[in-house]
Amino acid sequence: MVKRPEINEKTVIEISDHKFLKIFDIQYAQGRHYFNATRRNKEDLMCLKSDEEFKKALPDAVTCIVIVKLKNGDERLLLSEEYRYPAGRFLLSPPAGVLDPADRDTESPIINAAIREINEETGIRVDVSGGDSIKIVSPLLFSSPGMTDESNAIVCANINNFDEKMLSQSGAEGSELFNGFRLLDKEDAMRIIKNGYDDEGYFYSVYTFVALSYFISC
């Protein structure tokens, strides 16, 4: 077995600290540097966690696969057109958002964050007592562990009492900017996966790919 590099608080140096993003230099050997862009404070970095802490870690954010049932019984995957600043485009996106401190203090931080984000970004209130369901598909997926320890949980919400009149993007906060919704059937989802881009010819995020793939596999 290959021995892991020795990484500890002394070998991880903060080199940039902004409100929403920090950069750390992980000095994994003498004269060797690996940089990590992260939302996390130093004491919460993944590379400094013990194996037990790592296995119990909460994600930075949650991505929501929202599957709605129409009045005729057909199912659709609900995605939105969300403006993504680094791409400079409205991209096909599932509802998503970071875990707030208040979420972390609840019995189920991931589910709590997912219910809030779905409501803020779609107007839908997940009503489990009314027949809706919500579950964790994956508790933590790294976005790109080659350059960041940022991670998302994946949650699936099935909305069984859906009416398009529910939909609203008025809950957008901060830099969030939306341009309407897309309701996709499985044929739509398969076409977009096969093409590698949406119907506007735009590429999309890996988490959109996860939502599309999960939907067609159900």
The residues with which 24 forms a beta bridge, in sequence order, are: 14, 36
Tell me, yes or no, whether 108 and 178 share the same domain: yes
Helix axes 186-195, 206-217, angle to 10 degrees: 140
Contact by Cβ (8 Å): 158, 132: yes
Tell me, yes or no, whether 128 and 205 share the same domain: yes
pLDDT reported for residue 45: 97
CA distance 204 to 33: 31
Tell me, yes or no, whether 66 and 32 share the same domain: no
Provide φ and ψ at 193, rounded to 5°: -65, -45
Tell me, yes or no, whether 37 and 77 share the same domain: no
Supply the range of the domain harboring residue 49.
12-55
pLDDT reported for residue 216: 97
Tell me, yes or no, whether 24 and 130 share the same domain: no
Q: What is the pLDDT along the chain (218 residues), one digit of tens a residue?
A: 898 898 999 999 999 999 889 999 999 998 999 999 999 999 999 999 999 999 999 999 999 999 999 999 999 999 999 999 999 999 999 999 999 999 999 999 999 999 999 999 999 999 999 999 999 999 999 999 999 999 999 999 999 989 999 999 998 888 999 999 999 999 999 999 999 999 999 999 999 999 999 999 98
Tell me, yes or no, whether 108 and 151 share the same domain: yes
Residue 209 placed within a domain: yes
Tell me, yes or no, whether 43 and 98 share the same domain: no
Residue 203 placed within a domain: yes
Tell me, yes or no, whether 45 and 82 share the same domain: no
Tell me, yes or no, whether 34 and 86 share the same domain: no
The total of other beta-carbon atoms located within 10 Å of residue 3's CB is: 5
Tell me, yes or no, whether 82 and 123 share the same domain: yes
**CB-based burial of residue 182 (10 Å sphere; 0-12 exposed, 13-18 middle, 19+ buried)?**
middle
The residues with which 158 forms a beta bridge, in sequence order, are: 67, 133
The residue out of 40, 55, 70 marking a domain boundary is: 55
Residue 212, SS3?
A: helix
The total of other beta-carbon atoms located within 10 Å of residue 196's CB is: 9
**CB-based burial of residue 118 (10 Å sphere; 0-12 exposed, 13-18 middle, 19+ buried)?**
buried
The total of other beta-carbon atoms located within 10 Å of residue 157's CB is: 23
CA distance 73 to 166: 17
Tell me, yes or no, whether 109 and 40 share the same domain: no
pLDDT reported for residue 161: 85
The DSSP call for residue 50 is -
**CB-based burial of residue 129 (10 Å sphere; 0-12 exposed, 13-18 middle, 19+ buried)?**
exposed
Residue 5 placed within a domain: no
pLDDT reported for residue 135: 98
**Domain containing 204 — which CATH number?**
3.90.79.10
pLDDT reported for residue 20: 86
Tell me, yes or no, whether 71 and 131 share the same domain: yes
Q: Number of structural domains, the chain?
A: 2
CA distances from 69 to 94, 155, 192 (A): 17, 17, 21
